[in-house]
Amino acid sequence: MSATGTLKVQLDTAGPYVRQQVNVIDSTTLELVASPACGEEVEVPAGTYVVSATLPSGERSVGVAEVTANELAELALASPAAVAEPPSPPPPPAAAPAPGLEELGPPAGADAAPATSGWFVRFRVRTEQGFEPDEPQLDVLAATSDGAELTVRASGEGLLFAQVARAGEVPLTVALPIFGPTSSQSCRLTLGGPAGALTADVSLPDNPRVDAVARYLQSGHPVEAASVLGNAEQLLQQKMADPFGAALGGYALLRSGQLDRLHHWPRNLAGTFPWLPDGAVIAGEEAALEGDHATALGFVCDAARRGLPVFAAGFSLLAARLREYAGAPADAFGENGGLVVEAGQHLESALRVLPFVDFARVSFAFRGARVDDPGTSQEPFAAGDDWKEL
């Protein structure tokens, strides 16, 4: 057996927010040897490797790594800005703009103009800098005064929150389980509810298996949810990983008490997708249920630092553990004892959101016009800003 070394690849694309998967290719055979995430250490036979990463923009970054036996080789792939634009195949002969092309459909402008419905929507994306307005691809499937249905497609990176509203009611904010650089790129949002009880249901028609898991969880059947999903860990191993599906699977296993099926893969979920708070929530809860509260405290604080979870179950678990640990003696957590004070601070933040959360939904949803501060934005909806009527 050939000697092995360790390879660790860094890609300075968007800081720690996006953890890009890379291909490690044997430079002699040109075979794919491993597909670790950036920052992850992977053991490979000593030798020379071509390492490539395809960025969400479609750009590619390539580097070469020499791995020596029993040593750690670190490779920093160039950031996209530093990578020269690859040559494109020769374009077709220059043509004047637009003329010469024909459209395979009704004439321009024939697309039916949607009628207004009284439903309003806007989007916020959470990046490292905080919440920013966003305009994901939106298909309005139906919109009447009784309800509306739309498909939302991730347009880039960052966790997406939809805000929905209608006259006279406090807007509802709902986290969407979609993220551009993963296989989870679209979801359906169904708006409805009687006056004064606006609801927003999230479903995943393009991902029926994970959608079924969500439905089972929503109806209180975690065992069935876990059984439908099968091996949730596999969702992390695919080339186009589905971290949201894996997270839902994790919650299903936690809620159905099948800890033996977790066997610490949530730590991979937490490590590979640092932008997803739910991975750290699940890893923390698993550790807590195993009695390792020092580790659990670390994950719980990590989760809280990442921001609001995507799923209501995550916020529930997070708030419960923060409450427990914030009031515990620091010396109960060994090396992590210093995090108790931090847990108290996160708890205060969580409590400001808690009264407005709708725990009846799978996706994390709460009332409030401001994503970052629902407590001070409980006024009825007022049109303006970047609200769009459906």
Whichever of 174 and 241 has its CB closer to another protein, that residue is: 241
Residues 224, 252: Cα–Cα separation, whole Å: 8
Which is closer to another protein, CB of 2 or CB of 28?
Answer: 28
Query: In whole angstroms, how close is the CB of 52 to another protein at the nearest point?
Result: 5
Residue 137 beta carbon to another protein: minimum distance, rounded to whole angstroms = 7
Shortest distance (Å) from residue 338 CB to another protein: 43
Q: Give whichever of 10 and 237 is closer to another protein, judged by the CB atom.
A: 237
Asked if 134 and 121 count as a contact pair (C-beta separation under 8 A), the reply is: no
Query: Residue 270: CA atoms inside 13 Å, Cβ hemisphere, count?
Result: 28
Task: Indicate the residue among 15 and 97 with the shorter CB distance to another protein.
Answer: 97
Q: How far is the CB of 143 from another protein (least distance, A)?
A: 11
Q: Which long-range contacts (CB under 8 A, 24 or more apart) does 112-117 make?
A: 114/140, 114/143, 114/390, 115/143, 116/143, 116/389, 116/390, 117/143, 117/144, 117/145, 117/148, 117/389, 117/390
User: CA 387 → CA 90, 120, 134, 149, 311, distances in Å?
Assistant: 43, 6, 11, 16, 24
Q: Are 188 and 150 in contact (CB under 8 A)?
A: yes
Nearer to another protein, 234 or 378 (CB): 234
Q: Which of 231, 62, 165, 155 is nearest to 378 (CA)?
A: 165
Residue found by looking up tokens 């079924």 in the block: 212
- What is the three-class DSSP state of 320? helix
Tell me the Ramachandran region of residue 389: left when phi exceeds 0, alpha when psi lies from -120 to 50, beta otherwise: beta
Residue 9 CB, nearest distance to another protein (Å)?
A: 14
Min dist CB 32 to another protein, Å, is 4
Q: Residue 72 is encoded by which pair of tokens?
A: 């750690």
Which of 127, 186 has the CB closer to another protein?
A: 186
List interacting residues with another protein (CB under 8 A). Answer: 23, 25, 27-32, 48, 50, 52, 54, 58, 60, 62, 64, 83-89, 91-92, 94-98, 100-108, 110-113, 137, 139, 141-142, 149, 151, 183, 205-206, 238-240
CB nearer to another protein: pick between 25 and 164: 25
CA-wise closest residue to 270 among 308, 230, 226, 302: 302
Residues 6+ apart with CB under 8 A from 50: 24, 25, 26, 27, 30, 62, 63, 64
Judged by CB, which is closer to another protein: 113, or 195?
113
Please, what is the minimum distance in Å from the beta carbon of residue 113 to another protein?
7
Dihedral angle at the C-alpha atoms of 106, 107, 109, 112, nearest 10 degrees?
Answer: -20
Query: Rounded to the nearest whole angstrom, what is the least distance from the CB of residue 285 to another protein in the complex?
Result: 31
